[in-house]
Structure 1
Amino acid sequence: MPELHPAAIVHRDPGALLDRCDIGGVRRLYREPGYESGAIVPAGDWAPMSADLPRRYAPTSFTREGGMVEFFRLPADVIALPELTSLVDTLGDPEAIPLAATYDPPDEPVTHRLPTSGLRPGLHIDNRENASFTDCAFARRRLCVNMGPGSRYLFLVTTPITSMCKAVYDRYENHHPHTGDFGLYLTERKRASVLRIRIDPGEGWIAPTALLPFDESTEGERLPSTTASRLGRWRRGRLRPLI
């Protein structure tokens, strides 16, 4: 079965994307300490991306800006949160939503924890604006920067939650997508791919996390890392591209 509406990844150099990105499947966890029951995580079967995938994931003229994934490198003078705040103020959304900075120790398989329970939900969408199926494509994108000192990885599922909803619901137009829809999709379709993209200190990403299930990881790293994040309606190409 061909993949439904794959993620749109902005890139200039397919080789640079291939060099820092692997692809694999997913699995579900039940009764695993520290995780929500049924949490979806990468299966660990990482393999290099095939040479045709960058072309398949490239945005088209029909791709909305709010559905694009971008990777960028910070300017050399942005070395701490105050400079980052000043930079973000210039990116085109005066109503951007600041998110709490995170500090993640090394060797964490996934980093996100639910603030209420402390449990890890695994790959999830962040529909904090409670956007409907129709409005998900216009939701704010998450901008996240690795402030170091260690490297980390972004996990990004390649099929949007809206495509999953179309596959499992007869009436999806007024539905408000949530992470549980990903689980239902796996139950009925049993197919999903996840990308693992390395993000080094001073690098960052912008992604539609209300559309694409995601998480981050410090697995295999020896140093901790801190992130700074904002939600905003960012204009494409405002930061120095990474790939």
Structure 2
Amino acid sequence: MAGTGPDGTTVTEVRAELDALADPRTRAVNERHGDDHGVNLGKLRALAKRLGPRPELARGLWATDDSAARLLSVLVCRPKELPAGELDAMLRGARTPKVRDWLVSNVVRKSPHAEELRLAWLPDPDPVVASAGWELTADRVAKRSGGIDPAGLLDVIEAGMKDAPGPLQWSMNHCLARIGIAYAEHRARAIAIGERLGVLRDYPTPPGCTSPYAPVWITELVRRKQGTS
């Protein structure tokens, strides 16, 4: 792998730009959330826009194992060109929450292998990998895609969400809320499961934001969709 762009831009040059953008205060904020870089995400996105799609450079950036470089990598790669095995290895090798989130959001969701990976990741014993499967499932639920069994998903959520590790619990809760929002016929059960399990009931929510506690989340999003007060 050359790790260069079509104009000869190298990984070393791009990393120098990222280093110049790093700020100690941004790093301190990110570290509180489990991330280990100091680059403002808006500036990182601006750099990605300037660079444009560069698959070989993206692979070179990912190979550095540097979080800022990996975030840039997922923005400048071409998702449709990455094979399923490579995406699986990337997820399992991603060390920080933001890198994992961006990988799933910006790359896997746009991949022709998204459904294959969703089905493979859902039952994975690694809770971080399984959480990616649940995030992809929440997407399918929100779009009311064929092949989704909301009642069966609610069975799994009801049985396992309460004691699931943090990242997996969060993603299962996301899927629970999406089921309640998208499927009126399953809404009462989704709300009841959320109330009974109490997951994220006391999650600190800033003013003006919607609580991730599923019963509140479902009720508020349905209210907005229906245009009621």
Q: TM-score normalized by structure 2?
A: 0.23
Greater fraction helix: 2
Q: TM-score normalized by structure 1?
A: 0.22
Greater fraction strand: 1
Q: State the structure with bigger RCO (CA 8 A, min sep 6), 1 or 2.
A: 1
